[in-house]
Amino acid sequence: MKLGWAAGRVLAKKGNGPVLIGKDTRISGYMFESALEAGLSSAGVDIRLLGPMPTPGIAYLTKNTRAQAGIVISASHNPFYDNGIKFFSGDGTKLPDDIEHEIEYELGLPMQSVYSRDLGKARRITDAPRRYIEFCKSKISHNVDFNGIRVVIDCANGATYHIAPKVFEELGAEIICHATSPDGLNINDECGATSPDALQKLVKESRADLGIALDGDGDRLIMVDNKGNIIDGDDIIYVITQLEREKLNGAVVGTVMSNLGLEQAIKRLDLDFYRAAVGDRYVMDLLRKEKLILGGETSGHIINLDLTTTGDGIIAALQVLEEMALTGKKLSELVSGITKYPQIMKNVRLKEKIDITSIDDVNAAVKDVENTLGNTGRVVLRTSGTEPLVRVMVEGENEKQVTALVDQLTDKVTEVLSAS
């Protein structure tokens, strides 16, 4: 409630437009929604309630309805018992740092309501899902339809459950739905982008052309090809690059976790490949800095600034299907030009968040592994932004060697952290 009040105080100084609130399907969303609504109202700001909506849908509607800001209540791919809050500015992008700093300052002040006559009013936007469905459909070429393409859609029992199936069905695809019955507790529960096993099975059993697994808030996806193989964010970026090659201003953005195989495949298309830190915010920052269009993460966050202001799982999937429809190729054929290097990642749980790269013994162990790999591989050590984990990744040409090296490095990190 105080966060809503603090944000409302800052926004009220800058304009008089409403603030949108949307959420995913986890049970605590009701509580967060009510508290944020009360806080914003007490600061004199009007509220528009969207109900369950994908994160990119909230970003779109924030800009489309001329709202001052949009608030997303979601913990993305995390289990139902987690939740979080993120903000979009009026142009559908993340809040600028200076606005965030002002909100942080207001959070430290005593909460005080405006006079009763100045309280903000709340109302519900009942056609929010339909507006976003039409927006998504408008992002592919008007002469393309998906007739004859059979798609399995896994909505993770999350925010896309009532939207994604309609988008693809209305564009002509034959759809088979999975995890589209949220109950507040089953979001991301053995389904969605983080658990695509069920989708792989369904694609093979139904002889579908592909499968689409979205995460709980719909801003990322993992796909499955017609053979049942996992198609991750690197593969999806490669397919979209083939579709949009002439529009990309000469380069594509990945992250430090993007597979070397993607970098090599992009360069074979005569494009440069840039690496950002892990996180869609950093991908976005690099896209803007270099005046580029397309970027994304291996985990399935795909940003195409020609089409959206933020990562959008549905629109990325639409682009893949558009390339299939235009070329007549299966998804397995479209990704055949990228050869992945073996890449293994392990997690080490933290007692408290620390900067793992500041520990000399860990840096020495990383250097040893890098020397062993030479120019044929990479090592990435980073602290998770959403969980108390250190992620240890080793990539190289030889899978047996990579497995041994990631075990060696994980053991060393565990040993150092246990002793600290």
270 CB neighbour count, 10 Å cutoff: 8
Q: How far apart are CA 233 and CA 143, in angstroms?
A: 26
Q: Work out whether strand 47-52 and strand 122-124 pair parallel, antiparallel, or are unpaired.
A: parallel
Domain membership of residue 36 as a residue range: 2-125
290 burial level (CB within 10 Å; 0-12, 13-18, 19+): middle
Residue 356, pLDDT above cutoff 90: no
Confidence band of 199 (pLDDT split at 50, 70, 90): very high
Residue 126, pLDDT above cutoff 90: yes
**CATH code for the domain of 406:** 3.30.310.50
Examine the domain organization and report whether 239 and 136 are in the same domain: yes
User: Mean pLDDT, to the nearest integer, of 121-134?
Assistant: 97
Query: What is the DSSP-derived secondary structure letter of residue 402?
Result: H
Q: What is the pLDDT of residue 155?
A: 98
Q: Last residue of some domain: 334, 355, 380?
A: 334
Examine the domain organization and report whether 328 and 188 are in the same domain: yes
Number of domains in the chain: 3
User: By three-state DSSP, how is residue 127 classified?
Assistant: coil
Examine the domain organization and report whether 153 and 241 are in the same domain: yes
Each residue's pLDDT tens digit, 320-344: 999 999 999 999 999 999 999 999 9
Each residue's pLDDT tens digit, 64-123: 999 999 999 999 999 999 999 999 999 999 998 999 999 999 999 999 999 999 999 999
User: Mean pLDDT, to the nearest integer, of 227-254?
Assistant: 97
Q: Last residue of some domain: 81, 96, 125?
A: 125
Confidence band of 382 (pLDDT split at 50, 70, 90): confident
Q: How far apart are CA 219 and CA 74, in angstroms?
A: 11
Residue 178, pLDDT above cutoff 80: yes
Examine the domain organization and report whether 92 and 55 are in the same domain: yes
Q: What is the pLDDT of residue 352?
A: 75
Q: How far apart are CA 162 and CA 169, in angstroms?
A: 12
User: Mean pLDDT, to the nearest integer, of 149-163?
Assistant: 98
Examine the domain organization and report whether 121 and 136 are in the same domain: no
Q: Work out whether strand 69-73 and strand 221-224 pair parallel, antiparallel, or are unpaired.
A: unpaired
Concatenated DSSP letters for 330-365? -HHHHTTT--PPPEEEEEEE-SS---GGG-HHHHHH
Task: Return the ∠ at Cα 30 (arms to 24 and 32), rounded to 5°.
Answer: 90
Examine the domain organization and report whether 318 and 282 are in the same domain: yes
Does the annotation count 76 as an active-site position?
yes
Confidence band of 357 (pLDDT split at 50, 70, 90): confident
Please identify which of the residues 42, 76, 195, 258 carries the catalytic annotation.
76
Q: In what helix (H) or strand (E) does residue 274 lie, and over which residues does it extend? A: strand 272-276
Examine the domain organization and report whether 154 and 84 are in the same domain: no
Confidence band of 350 (pLDDT split at 50, 70, 90): confident
Q: Of all residues in the chain, what percent are helix, strand and coil, respectively (each to 5)?
A: 40, 20, 40
Q: Last residue of some domain: 81, 104, 125?
A: 125
Residue 355, pLDDT above cutoff 80: no
Closest CA to 254 of 270, 243, 242, 241: 241
Each residue's pLDDT tens digit, 16-72: 899 999 999 999 999 999 999 999 999 999 999 999 999 999 999 999 999 999 999
Are the C-beta atoms of 270 and 281 separated by less than 8 Å? no
Q: What is the pLDDT of residue 416?
A: 84
Average pLDDT, the chain: 95
Q: What residues contact residue 154 under an 8 Å CB cut-off, 6+ apart?
A: 178, 179, 191, 192, 196, 198, 199, 202, 211, 212, 213, 214
Residue 385, pLDDT above cutoff 80: no
Q: What is the pLDDT of residue 383?
A: 83
Q: How far apart are CA 75 and CA 54, in angstroms?
A: 12
Residue 202, pLDDT above cutoff 80: yes
Examine the domain organization and report whether 292 and 192 are in the same domain: yes
Examine the domain organization and report whether 30 and 142 are in the same domain: no
User: Mean pLDDT, to the nearest integer, of 251-268?
Assistant: 95
% residues pLDDT > 70 (the chain): 100
Backbone angles phi, psi at 264, to 5 degrees: -65, -40
Examine the domain organization and report whether 350 and 388 are in the same domain: yes
Q: How far apart are CA 276 and CA 257, in angstroms?
A: 9
Examine the domain organization and report whether 103 and 182 are in the same domain: no
Examine the domain organization and report whether 329 and 198 are in the same domain: yes
Give the total residue count for the chain: 420
Query: What is the DSSP-derived secondary structure letter of residue 293?
Result: -
Q: What is the pLDDT of residue 205?
A: 97
User: Mean pLDDT, to the nearest integer, of 257-268?
Assistant: 94
**CATH code for the domain of 271:** 3.40.120.10
